[in-house]
A and B are shown apart, each in its own frame.
Chain A
């Protein structure tokens, strides 16, 4: 009889690594999404070009290759990253590129009349963005950001390939040690699914909170 409790401990440790990666990756992705998304809308050609190049490059190449690059190639130019650093970097930059288009699209979805109202009350460009456009655009971004965060969670599985002990890695360890495939892989399937549920629930409640008052319902 296999001592499952010890193996579950391993898998839980993996879950913590996966959660850590997802959180840190999401933070980096969010920062990159806003930088590149706002960059795409810049008045300056150089900034627009830089943002576009970043977005196209990271959307247009595989996350596997990006991760291998960060972990195996960067050392050749003198940058050695731990597996966790490489994982966060690759995941954050990759998902951030998708997020940047969400940011840009959401900002552009805010009607011209809001920009005109800002000019009429003499707000500067940044004041208008910060106090009028972004707060409204954020609500448009949220559902897609939720999708992106779930994509990021699932993509964390690739870091097992650079020996980071995440959920998927630990499941493989358990499988090789016990010879049992069904139990470890079903377990991590359920854990991934639960984590994704938590993300989508969190995003939805955030959305509800932000939308309060916008629909004309008295609260």
Chain B
């Protein structure tokens, strides 16, 4: 068995007096597809944001691919990571946001090529060729010249996925990527995730309220509450036969709200 690609060791994070994560530890294996579920404020999105270095941790350690994320080893000592170390670590990680966060002043294809050209020194022609392949994969090749404002939410999200893929990360983080979409647009985005899941060997972490999708997609489901993992297991175990009372209550609420499980 290979080593975990993500190793989170006793991390804590507070916003003011609110403790979002409380001594959380977890591991993710390479190629594993993980679904993070739980009530809002339970810390699941914060974990993704911490892995993407959008939030700092108050204490604890994170290792990505055997290397410290927020620390650097110098002469046997652990020092806080500097910007250069973070930039190097970020190459392994990509993220897709709930609200897409496309660059509104750039066309679809420029959104996808910007970072490869700037951060990897890719020649424009090569970056565009690769971008077209990715846009084709997410079904957006015909909109390559469009501006983000001309697209629907589902289309924007598919472009955002292509943008993240262009940097060829080993780990992809999906933060409630369908939550801001009209119901009829959810499926086109889930279909793309589904393709990524079956056709690539990226490690994927998915924060979602789409329980049906989480069930089919994930190798493992983690149920979060109040900054801790309350229960984890195979999708069938969590969704059909949850052991913890809090998991049961959460799933009941979700079903009552009309979500398919």
A interface residues, Cβ below 8 angstroms from B: 113-114, 116-117, 119-125, 127, 131-132, 135-136, 139, 213-216, 218
Query: Across the interface, do A135 and B101 meet the contact criterion of CB distance under 8 Å?
Result: no
Question: 9 A-B pairs, CB-CB below 8 angstroms?
Answer: A113-B97, A117-B103, A119-B52, A120-B90, A122-B119, A122-B167, A132-B103, A136-B105, A216-B150
Say if the beta carbon of B164 comes within 8 Å of chain A.
yes
Of the candidates B53, B99, B105, B167, the one having the most CB atoms from chain A within 10 angstroms of its own CB is B105
Does any Cβ of A come within 8 Å of B102's Cβ?
yes
Known: A120-B164, A121-B163, A124-B83. 8 other contacts (CB 8 A): A116-B54, A116-B97, A120-B90, A121-B115, A122-B87, A122-B167, A127-B119, A213-B147
Q: Mark B76-88, 1 if CB is under 8 A from A, else 0.
A: 0000000100010
**Interface pair B101/A116, CB less than 8 Å apart:** yes
Taking a contact as CB atoms under 8 Å apart, the answer to whether A113 and B99 are in contact is: yes
Q: Check if B42 is an interface residue, CB within 8 A of chain A.
A: no
Chain B residues lying within 8 Å of A124, measured Cβ to Cβ, are: 83, 87, 119
Question: B83-118 interface mask toward A, CB cutoff 8 Å, 1 = contact, 0 = none?
Answer: 100010011001101010111110100000011001
Closest A residue by C-beta to B118: A127
Closest Cβ of chain A to B171, distance in Å, is: 12
B149 on the interface (CB 8 Å rule)? yes
- B95 partner residues in chain A, CB cutoff 8 A: 120
Residue of A nearest to B102 (CB): A117
List the interface of chain B (C-beta within 8 A of A).
52-54, 83, 87, 90-91, 94-95, 97, 99, 101-105, 107, 114-115, 118-119, 147, 149-150, 163-164, 167
The residue that A121 contacts in the complex, of B105, B107, B149, B167, with Cβ under 8 A, is B167
Closest 7 CB pairs of A and B: A216-B149, A121-B115, A117-B101, A213-B147, A120-B95, A122-B90, A113-B101
Q: How far is the CA of A122 from the CA of B83 in the complex (A)?
A: 11
Q: Contact at B150–A122, with CB atoms within 8 Å?
A: no
Which residues of chain B have C-beta atoms less than 8 A from A117's C-beta? Answer: 97, 101-103
Once bound together, how far apart are the Cα atoms of A74 and B66, in whole Å?
62
CB of A114 within 8 A of CB of B103, answer yes
Compute how far the CA of A131 lies from the CA of B105 in the bound complex, rounded to whole angstroms: 10
Contact check, A121 vs B150: say whether CB atoms are below 8 A apart.
Answer: no
Whether B149 and A120, one on each chain, are in contact in the complex, defined by CB atoms closer than 8 angstroms, is: no
Q: What residues on A are CB-neighbors of B52 within 8 Å?
A: 116, 119-120
Give the interface SS of chain A, mostly helix, strand, loop or mixed: helix
Task: Say yes or no: A218 contacts B119, CB within 8 Å.
Answer: no
Find chain A residues with CB under 8 A from B115 CB.
121-123
Which single member of A121, A123, A214 contacts B104 (CB below 8 Å)? A214
A123 — which chain B residues lie within 8 A by C-beta? 114-115, 118-119
Tell me the complex Cα distance, A218–B87, Å: 37
**Residue numbers in B under 8 Å from A216 (CB-CB):** 147, 149-150
Contact between chains at B91 and A120 (CB < 8 Å): no
Q: Which of A114, A116, A121 has the most CB of B within 10 A?
A: A121
- Measured CB to CB, the closest approach of chain B to A147, in angstroms, equals 23
Known: A119-B52, A123-B118, A127-B118. A214 touches B147 (CB 8 A): yes
A132–B103 Cα distance when bound, in Å, is 7
B102: chain A residues at CB < 8 Å are: 117
A219 to chain B, nearest CB (A): 8
Which A residues touch B99, using CB under 8 A?
A: 113
Cβ of B150: which chain A residues have Cβ within 8 Å of it?
A: 213, 216, 218
Name the distance in Å between B156's Cβ and chain A's nearest Cβ: 11
Q: How many angstroms between the C-alpha atoms of A216 and B164 in the bound complex?
A: 23
The reply to whether A131 and B54 form a contact with Cβ atoms under 8 Å apart is no
Are the CB atoms of A214 and B163 closer together than 8 Å?
no
- Judging by beta carbons under 8 Å apart, are B114 and A119 in contact? no
The residue from A121, A213, A214 contacting B119, defined by CB atoms under 8 A apart: A121
Q: In whole angstroms, what is the CA distance A119 to B167 when docked?
A: 12
Is A131 a contact of B97 with CB atoms below 8 Å?
A: no
| Contacting residues, chain B, for A119 (C-beta < 8 A) | 52-54, 90
Contacts of B91 on A, CB cut-off 8 Å? 122
Cα separation A127 to B119 with both chains bound (whole Å)? 9
Q: What's the Cα separation between A54 and B147 when bound, in Å?
A: 39
